[in-house]
Structure 1
Amino acid sequence: MIRKPTYLKWHRWLGLTVGLFLMVQGLTGAIMAFRDALEPVVVPSLIVAERPARLPVQGLLDAFHRAHPDADLTRVEFPDAANQAVIVKSNIRKARWLTAIDPFDGHVVHDGTATAWPLEFIFNIHEQLLSGPVGETLIGIEGVALLVLTIIGLSYWWPGMKRLKQGFRVKLDGSADLRWRTLHRAVGGGVAVILLISATTGVLMVWKEQVRAGMNLVAKTESRPSPKVAKSDGATMLPVDPLIAQAKAKYGDTALRQLRFSSGGRVVAVFLDGNHTIRADGTNQVYFNRYDGRELAHYVGGRQSGGAEFLDWIYTVHTGLWGGAPTQAIMLLTGLVLFGMALSGMWLWFTRTRRERARKAARAKDQREKVQMKAVGQ
């Protein structure tokens, strides 16, 4: 049987290994919990004056292409609020670019790479550590480390059912080190379950396709469609508004959430609010050939296999979207607690190391003094 001091040693050294990463993830994750609400506060130009009529969606795309004729358009995001700008995402000279367009008159209100969008920059840190796929893999490894760290910490903390209250007791009448140590243990025991959920869902998001492949060995688990359309010289692409209308006529007249472009813009995916699922970010996704308007594929949230629906729920659980503002507040608190736990754990190690060094120095001094006294006596 593993003794508790061994658990503590494992917990301490694993925590020190990933502590700085956990601080970054905790703080950026806390900010991301309310990203949609914070975005127009951080970038005030996203708030626009409402007018009687909005431009057709194709009019917004045309306005974007006039501003950036060489851009590779990838996504258009439509906010819930009527007085907010539409966000267009693209690649320009191999850089990710975001452009905010007034949906009423088509003029650009904010434009630039992620560095011009503070919350997008923070999101890129949280998701990929600004390092692309390599950073995303590191995030996944960090999530596994947090999962193991939490399990080990919970094993060390567990006082037993009869002494459960003892596990949440903070000793306020002792030294500062004792107060922080007992606080670290009590808070860790209290939030362990939430940290386990956050770590597990984070890991599943990083290796979602690998998990899907594993689930497919047991039962069918659908993937999001990825249709391709070959380039046809001389052919023109249709405006997107008729395609949006076609999607709404067939899958429900719900709000337009996103447009996603692939195959060099020859495929457009229309994302509508889901009307077959209670999942917060559920969508009806319809993929069209922009040359001829044919529907190539669809993916309707709430109508997939159990495995696919489970994987689709992961993001909402990880971000707290599944329960609205209350669960988002929980994830905000979780991020702040993770930051605090990592910081206090590193501080406790530092103070412990400093005390041990002081004791060793004191013992060495005593030993030297004894040797000196002995030498004088002789």
Structure 2
Amino acid sequence: MTAGATGGRRPPRPRPGGLWRWHLWAGLAALLVLLASAISGGVLVYQKELIRLTVTPHATLPPDYSHGAIASQLQQLEFQRGAGSPISLKAPNPGEPYWTVRHGHALELLELATLDTYQDNLGILALLTLLREFHVDLLTGRWGQSLLLLCGILALFLTVSGLLLWWPGRRAFRWRWVIPRNYTASRSLQYHRHAGALVSPLLLLAFLTGSVMLWQKLVAPLLPPVATEIRQIAAMPAGVPGIARDYRAAQAAVPDGWPTYIRTYQEQDSTYTKVRFRLPGEWHLNGRTSVVVNSDTGELVISERSDQSSNARRLVNQLYPLHSGYGMPGGYRALMLVTSLALAWLAYTGGSHYYTRWRHRRNRRHSSAA
């Protein structure tokens, strides 16, 4: 039949059945996990700001806050919690001007001046902590991480296959289909296709960085272990006990770094203190340079400095900032929020389209049976 015989309109182009079906079933398989990840991830983009507004509204980092003050407060914290007790801390910084103490999955925030616990709106802090744990492992540990990795791989396939399905009709792209004024379920596929095509670069970035991080954790690292240097401290700093002494030794090994995570642990009948540092100008606000101090022998294991790493390792080190937006410029973080909202919208419109088709099929079967 010619175009003239159909009133000048071309017959609809058939969908590529195989790819379209794979896209459909992959979307249904990952739908709930992707929707939950989108919602939780969108909130977590601004979790630090939410904490500052609700829990620590008046917290500031004193201009003269120094390594000496950190060591002194570490000594106080160790005394409060009992010498020899494992401790996991995040040190204050300009963006988070308070001590963060981790107890399992719970967080405790401490004022700098008094080391007292912040008491306001702790329910919001607990909710944000829960959302983070849910986003990282679905509250089920390794099983949840494995499911997230699987769904991340499916999401990469969905993004690429969706672009391939949209490409033949790309000239029909219209902005009004991206965010419709009046939602109509029957047009959910149009909303899904146009919005997906528009945000596909952001989705690819989010899915790829998240999947690679999980792959490294669950399957195999992309790069060999970080090179380390072992040093022996001839004389540990006198007059400073425990974790504060270890911190002074670690800080001396990375004099231009600012501490991020500080924790103590026991292994093979020895006690260790691990300090992670952020170097000047480093993208990753948590830093990627660490020092492990053997509290019993004074031996230091110093990792390769992140500013001296290969380009490949530097790229791998930026996976977390690129995925979460943590420490990135405001514009980039806004794009990450848009990505989360778009993913939730795509999950909803894709699910709505499938449900509409299923309902129509069921109604036709019932009509035929009658």
2:89 is aligned, of 72, 76, 80, to: 76
Matches of 1:224 and 1:131 in 2, distance apart? 32
1:272 to 1:184, Cα distance in 2 relative to 1, 3 A: same
1:182-331 correspondence runs (5 A):
182-209=190-217, 213=221, 215=222, 221-223=224-226, 238-263=241-266, 266-275=271-280, 277-321=282-326, 323-331=328-336
Q: CA deviation at 1:194?
A: 1.4
**Contact 2:88–2:264 (8 Å) recurs in 1:** yes
| 3-state secondary structure, aligned to 2:118 | strand
Matches of 1:353 and 1:320 in 2, distance apart? 38
Matches of 2:114 and 2:338 in 1, distance apart? 40
Matches of 1:279 and 1:173 in 2, distance apart? 39
1:166 is aligned, of 153, 158, 172, to: 172
CA offset digits 1:40-62 (Å, max 9, x no partner): 334x2574487898794355445
Q: Percent identity?
A: 21
1:199 to 1:193, Cα distance in 2 relative to 1, 3 A: same
Q: CA deviation at 1:332?
A: 1.0
Moved more, 350-359 or 338-347: 350-359
**Contact 2:78–2:243 (8 Å) recurs in 1:** no
> TM-score, length-normalised on structure 2?
0.78
CA offset digits 1:99-139 (Å, max 9, x no partner): 2222212223359x999622111000000000011111111
Matches of 1:263 and 1:84 in 2, distance apart? 29
**Contact 2:261–2:286 (8 Å) recurs in 1:** no
Tell me the residue number matched to 2:6.
none
Matches of 1:142 and 1:261 in 2, distance apart? 35
Tell me the residue number matched to 1:148.
157
**Contact 1:321–1:328 (8 Å) recurs in 2:** yes
Q: CA deviation at 1:243?
A: 4.1
**Contact 1:22–1:142 (8 Å) recurs in 2:** yes
Structure 2 residue runs of 5 or longer lacking an equivalent are 1-13, 231-238
Matches of 1:53 and 1:201 in 2, distance apart? 37
2:45 is aligned, of 22, 33, 51, to: 33
1:119 to 1:169, Cα distance in 2 relative to 1, 3 A: closer
The reply to whether residue 15 of structure 1 matches residue 20 of structure 2 is no
**Contact 1:271–1:286 (8 Å) recurs in 2:** yes
The reply to whether residue 100 of structure 1 matches residue 109 of structure 2 is yes
1:313 to 1:8, Cα distance in 2 relative to 1, 3 A: same
Matches of 1:36 and 1:26 in 2, distance apart? 18
Matches of 2:132 and 2:291 in 1, distance apart? 27
Q: How much is the aligned-residue C-alpha RMSD, in angstroms?
A: 3.7
1:330 to 1:156, Cα distance in 2 relative to 1, 3 A: same
Which amino acid is the alignment partner of residue 92 of structure 2? P
Matches of 1:71 and 1:350 in 2, distance apart? 58
Q: CA deviation at 1:32?
A: 1.3
**Contact 1:268–1:290 (8 Å) recurs in 2:** yes
CA offset digits 1:271-301 (Å, max 9, x no partner): 2221374555434322222234432222311
The reply to whether residue 359 of structure 1 matches residue 352 of structure 2 is no
The reply to whether residue 89 of structure 1 matches residue 98 of structure 2 is no
1:67 to 1:281, Cα distance in 2 relative to 1, 3 A: closer
Which amino acid is the alignment partner of residue 123 of structure 1? R
What is the number of equivalent residue pairs in this alignment? 343
Matches of 1:175 and 1:102 in 2, distance apart? 48
Matches of 2:277 and 2:155 in 1, distance apart? 35
1:22 to 1:278, Cα distance in 2 relative to 1, 3 A: closer
Tell me the residue number matched to 1:346.
351
Matches of 2:364 and 2:263 in 1, distance apart? 63
Which amino acid is the alignment partner of residue 107 of structure 1? D
